[in-house]
Amino acid sequence: MALLFKSSWDRADWWRAELLKRIPDLDFRVWPEVGDEAAIDYALVWKPKPGDLARYRNLKAVFSLGAGVDHLFADPTLPKVPICRLVDRALTRGMAEHVLTHVLRFHRNLPGYERQQRAFEWKGLPIKLPEERTVGVMGLGELGGAAAATLADFGFGVRGWSRTPKTIDGVESYAGGGALDAFLSKCEILVCLLPLTRATEGILNRNLFAKLPRAACLINAARGGHLLEEDLIPALDTGQLGGAALDVFRVEPLPRGHPYWTHPRILITPHVASVTDPRSSADLVADNIRRIDAGEAPLYAVDPAKGY
């Protein structure tokens, strides 16, 4: 069986080594050395160009090299085969770590101390206990659910928002559009871990910011498309938002002249909140290949109607 690998970000040699350990007879092909297109059974891809996948007419499934599948559904010619996302304990742990790091940074007011240091100022800033701080997580799936649980274990007051209600120890669940305002009303730190779909595109906008407590901080580790870019700086400059930690952007890498680079209240990381590691992620891809070959349904196939 043949698998086509295409990504300008992930390491083909690492994936080849990890997948061949699990399926020694796998014919692992790296784009553009595709060979006979009709022989390709599986595609393992990150951000293929629209139209790229339609040429492989015997595809049995498409595997995303990430948890998100928005990069695949952006293609109107996407083959009608199972589209599987990555779910992996290392990816989940990495995201929980990213979220905890940034929540603690805002919670302990490190941005304030960085500003004071530049002004040679020696002054303690107000401090709160974690249980006096409310953190809200938008999206309580594999990643958001684990991040929320980690924050709750740490002692924060945690609430989460998802499409359907959730039961997670220490996390107050808010579900559906009707509960969004109530959810937002107490979030001093807001974490976005939603998938990018038609329903969530641009959800982080000035109307939403206005519903947060004043000086709330934003952590966006989901997708750049969730944020209405032009609404962020005005919200920071008026003090409605106190700070933003952004890992994802509409255009990546973030263009050199973009105002986010130099804004004093924005911290940028280059889409590294949690990075796919083939040493663990190859388990699911190999498992799914075996399942499909045995006529079974693959794991973590997304619902095209929902888009995630």
Q: Which of 68, 144, 145, 224 binds ligand OXD (CB under 6 A)?
A: 68
142 contact choice in ligand OXD, ligand NDP, none (CB below 5 to 8 Å, kind-dependent): ligand NDP
Q: How far is the CB of 9 from ligand OXD (least distance, A)?
A: 8
Q: Residue 246: beta bridge partners? A: 220, 268
Residue nearest to ligand NDP (CB): 141
Instruction: From 60, 21, 23, 20, select the one nearest 40 (Cα to Cα).
Output: 60
Pick the catalytic residue: 107, 133, 226, 271?
A: 271
140 contact choice in ligand NDP, ligand OXD, none (CB below 5 to 8 Å, kind-dependent): ligand NDP
Distance (Å, whole) CA 285 – CA 144: 22
Tell me if 201 sits within 8 A of 225, measured CB to CB.
yes
**Strand locations in the chain (E):** 2-6, 27-30, 40-45, 61-64, 83-84, 134-138, 157-162, 171-175, 189-192, 216-220, 241-246, 266-268
Give the orientation angle of helix 278-293 with respect to helix 89-107, to 10 degrees: 140
Tell me if 67 sits within 8 A of 91, measured CB to CB.
yes
Q: How far is CA 261 from the centre of its chain?
A: 21
Tell me whether residue 67 or residue 302 sits nearer to ligand OXD (CB atom): 67
Site for ligand NDP, residues 208 to 247, rule: CB under 6 A: 221-223, 247
> Please, which residues have CB within 8 angstroms of residue 113's CB and are 6 or more apart in sequence?
125
Question: With binding defined as CB under 6 A, does residue 144 bind ligand OXD?
Answer: no
Distance (Å, whole) CA 114 – CA 181: 32
Distance (Å, whole) CA 211 – CA 196: 21
Q: Which of 59, 184, 196, 285 binds ligand NDP (CB under 6 A)?
A: 196
Q: How far is the CB of 108 from ligand OXD (least distance, A)?
A: 27
Question: With binding defined as CB under 6 A, does residue 66 bind ligand OXD?
Answer: yes
* Contact range with ligand NDP by CB under 6 A, out of 20-28, 51-59, 156-164, 205-213: 156-164
Q: How far is CA 71 from the centre of its chain?
A: 12
Question: With binding defined as CB under 6 A, does residue 99 bind ligand OXD?
Answer: no
**Active-site annotation holds for 223:** yes
Tell me whether residue 48 or residue 242 sits nearer to ligand OXD (CB atom): 48
Residue with tokens 């973590």: 300
- Maximum separation of any 2 CA atoms in the chain, in Å: 68
Question: With binding defined as CB under 6 A, does residue 136 bind ligand OXD?
Answer: no
263 contact choice in ligand OXD, ligand NDP, none (CB below 5 to 8 Å, kind-dependent): none
Q: Which of 44, 140, 227, 267 binds ligand NDP (CB under 6 A)?
A: 140
195 contact choice in ligand NDP, ligand OXD, none (CB below 5 to 8 Å, kind-dependent): ligand NDP
Q: How far is the CB of 35 from ligand NDP (least distance, A)?
A: 31
Instruction: From 185, 181, 188, 182, select the one nearest 157 (Cα to Cα).
Output: 188
**Active-site annotation holds for 263:** no
Pick the catalytic residue: 16, 29, 159, 223?
A: 223
Catalytic residues: 223, 271
Binding positions for ligand OXD, rule: CB under 6 A: 66-68, 276
Binding positions for ligand NDP, rule: CB under 6 A: 66-68, 139-144, 161-164, 193-197, 199-200, 221-223, 247-248, 271, 273-274, 308
